[in-house]
Each structure stands twice: as C-alpha cells, then as structure tokens.
Structure 1
Amino acid sequence: MRTTLRISEIFHSLQGETRRMGLPTVFVRLTGCPMRCGYCDSAYAFTGGKTLEIDVIMQQIRDFGCKTICVTGGEPLAQKAVHLLFAQLCDEGFDVSVETGGGQPIDTVDPRVSRVLDIKTPGSGEMHNMHWPNVDAVNQNDEIKFVLVDRADYEWARDKVRAEQLELRAPVIFSPVWESLKPADLAQWVIDDRLPVRVQVQLHKILWGDKPGV
C-alpha cells in the first residue's frame, strides 16, 4: 500500500457538524471525489492538492495540539492509504471521525474511527453511486446524515428513516443545504412528524461564511 495521500488542506477550526459540533478540531481534507453532488461545498478539493507522506501529515496534525481529528474530502475513502492514517491516529490516542459520501465501503474502516455516513437523497443527483450495504454496517459509534435540498428530499429521507428504523442503528442527522432549504422549515417538519432525528445547521458557515479552511 502507498504511504502517501493527496491532501487538499489541513487546518484547525471548530467542528461545524455532527455530534462533535463546536469542538476544536483538526481537519484533514483529502483531494478527489468520484461523486458530483449538485450542492457540494468542497468542489475545490476535487483536484489539486499536495502529495504528502503520512508521517508528514501526522506531524502537521500533532503541531496543532488538538486531539479531535476529522478526515474529510472530497471522498477520503477513495484513497486506500487513508486506512494507514486512521491506524496511526488511533494508535496515538486521537479521537477520529471520517466524513464519507457513502459511495465507498465503510466496513474496512478502523472500528475506533467514528464514521459519518452521508446517505444520498434524490436531490443530490448521486443516489445511483451509493454503496447501499453501508447502511447495514453502521453502529452507535457512527452517524447517519441526510443532506436535504427541498421538501421532496425531506419526505424521501423521512420515509427511509421510518421504514428502516435508522435511529436504532446510529444517530441520524438531517441537514439543510446551505441557502437552499430554510433551517426553520426543516425544523418544523421534523417536529410535526415527530421524527427521531437531529436537525443540524452548519455552524462553521454561520460563523465564517461558505469558504475553504473553516
């Protein structure tokens, strides 16, 4: 296996999503993604970046002095050497999560890593590229996320949560697409339907806007 990864950026910020929302976090954003969701907010990571040895990446992470790490993309699981990074981070006692678009198998991810699985909705335009066995692989250490474009997306996701009782497998997040679906509307729908999910807004965008490095 290669010992290098193509990296778009490594930065220190606050986690704006998931149950780690608000925690100071080091983000390791990998370059490249086989999906092209219509609402993607990190398309700048599709290309470019730098090829770095995992030892170099580890040292950059250590230099921030922060124990919470989020490996993201792009699609981090598209680079197989990411599993070496996971192992080293976990062995050194970091609290590690990975944000995956769901198109790559997650069952080979180190079990010490919390997997945030994005289930693609009709509005994403990428349902056909989902690796659906991932839904059966999650556990309570993980999270399931639906990024919602509109009311139709919400109803599709609501029905899937109910039909498969997804909240019994892992905590479920409903997140509105930035400046597309009003968070207050989504919140009211969840309340009206008594849905056992967490409504999430992207804290980093509220604080600093929609830009890289936050």
Structure 2
Amino acid sequence: MGFAVAQPAPARDERLKLTEIFLSLQGESSYSGWPTVFVRLTGCPLRCVYCDTAYAFHGGQWKGFDQILDEVAALALGARHVCVTGGEPLAQKNVVELLKRLCDAGYAVSLETSGALDVSAVDTRVMRVVDVKTPDSGEVDRNLWSNFDQLTSHDEVKFVICSRSDYDWSKRVVQEHSLTSRCTVLFSPSHGQVKARELADWIVQDRLAVRFQTQLHKQLWGEEQGR
C-alpha cells in the first residue's frame, strides 16, 4: 500500500505592485508638514473626477516586502513617518501585512484609502485616513458606510469638497454618523473647483467641528509627481 507524499505548502506571495517610493513632506492629514516616506501602490477601482494620481492606475513594478522595507529605511534616515497610498492600497490584499511590518519597524504609519474597501483588517496602529466620496466626486455610490464603525480616535475621515452642495451633503453625513465623536474629520477644497477661502468661510459660519485643510504639497510643488 503506497502512501501519498506530502507536498510543501506554496510560498506565500509577499509582493506588491508599486508605482513609486519617495521622500517628501506630508501635505494632508494631522501629519501634515512632517517629512514622510510615501509608498504609492499601483491600481485603483475608482475614477474620482478630481483624482491627481491617475498615473498610478496602471504599470508599476512588483517588489517584495523586504525590498520595500529596505527602500523605505534608505529614504527615511531620520524621518519616522511612512504613508502608504495609491491608487487604492487596499485593492492589493498583501498591503495589510506590509502595514503591520512597517509598524513593527517603528514607523508612524498612515494609510490613505478611498473608503470603498473594508478597513477592518488594517493594523490598529496605523492611522487610517478614509476619503469619503462626495456626490460630485462621481463615486459616492462606492462608499462603504460600515467602515465608520471601525474608526477610532486614532483615525481620520476626509471629505474633498467640490461644491456648496457637496459641503451641505458632507455636513449631513458628519452629523448623521456622529463622526466628530469617533475621529478627526477633515474638509478639503477640491483643487480648482472650490476656493480655499470659500470653504473656510462656510466652516466658520456653521461653527462646524471639522478641521479645514489644504494640500500643502500642491502649494509648495504644484502638480509635480513624486511629491
């Protein structure tokens, strides 16, 4: 009687497709202004009208976790912040393990995600910045509302405001979901659609308990890639 020979389990694929890794200043979130290493993953299932990283939709290069961590370390030196962004990072399932390893390496890690994919598996040490899609983004139907239940005071939600109607809609969402009691709420003007001063005035007039932000990197470097 013969015995089946056990086959070794296939090696886990520890790779991600990346568009770029670079060092710059964080331009958004509560980490704005900090020197930060950005790990930009390739691919996104959404097509927001205001997207400024369409170059990350396609192409890219496969890299293993160890290679990514080595490149981050070489760029970081004294910088301690790392931002994993895209595209949509959560479209690649292996990003969850990368985020964990970055936290284990001692970095202050943030994740920029569209809010269309489940954030529950992301290490709670990561600051999850969830971009809530407004009606004028063209992708409002992609919002995964159950993500709000996962958020803690360590996380942030961002609304990119394209119009006054977007602002009014966002204000209602914040109130209906009690978001300001869950986490930091950011309102940002869509570049070229709403003037920063205009959005600031609306927030002040309504005494809205949200944090106004502009994109610092665009003020400094314009539309340059790799910033």
Query: What TM-score, normalized to structure 1?
Result: 0.98
Counterparts of 1:150 and 1:81, CA distance in 2: 36
1:164 CA drift (Å): 2.2
Structure 2, unaligned runs of 5 or more: 1-11
- Per the alignment, residue 51 of structure 1 pairs with 62
- Per the alignment, residue 113 of structure 2 pairs with 100
Which one-letter code corresponds to 2:178 in the other structure? Answer: Q
Counterparts of 2:80 and 2:103, CA distance in 1: 10
Which one-letter code corresponds to 2:90 in the other structure? Answer: L
Find 1:113's aligned residue among 121, 126, 130.
Answer: 126
Counterparts of 1:88 and 1:161, CA distance in 2: 33
Structure 1, unaligned runs of 5 or more: none
- Per the alignment, residue 61 of structure 1 pairs with 72
Deviations 1:12-37 (A, max 9, x none): 00000000000000000000000000
SS of equivalent to 1:186: helix
SS of equivalent to 1:141: coil
- Per the alignment, residue 130 of structure 1 pairs with 143
Which one-letter code corresponds to 1:16 in the other structure? Answer: G
Q: Which moved more, 1:13-22 or 1:122-131?
A: 122-131
Moved over 4 A (4+): none
Which one-letter code corresponds to 1:9 in the other structure? Answer: E
Counterparts of 1:2 and 1:200, CA distance in 2: 38
Q: Which moved more, 1:129-138 or 1:8-17?
A: 129-138
SS of equivalent to 2:112: strand
Find 1:196's aligned residue among 187, 209, 220.
Answer: 209
- Per the alignment, residue 30 of structure 2 pairs with 19
SS of equivalent to 2:145: coil
- Per the alignment, residue 153 of structure 2 pairs with 140
- Per the alignment, residue 87 of structure 1 pairs with 100
Task: Flag the structure with larger Rg.
Answer: 2
Using the aligned pairs only, state the percent identity: 50
Deviations 1:104-126 (A, max 9, x none): 10010011111001111101111
1:136 CA drift (Å): 1.4
- Per the alignment, residue 8 of structure 2 pairs with none
Counterparts of 2:92 and 2:125, CA distance in 1: 19
1:84 CA drift (Å): 1.5
Which one-letter code corresponds to 1:154 in the other structure? Answer: Y
Deviations 1:42-78 (A, max 9, x none): 0110001111111100000000112100000000011
Counterparts of 1:68 and 1:203, CA distance in 2: 16
Matched residue pairs, number?
A: 214
Counterparts of 1:189 and 1:163, CA distance in 2: 19
Counterparts of 2:158 and 2:41, CA distance in 1: 20
SS of equivalent to 1:133: helix
Which one-letter code corresponds to 2:16 in the other structure? Answer: L
Q: Which moved more, 1:82-91 or 1:70-79?
A: 82-91
Counterparts of 2:143 and 2:165, CA distance in 1: 19
Counterparts of 2:172 and 2:202, CA distance in 1: 13
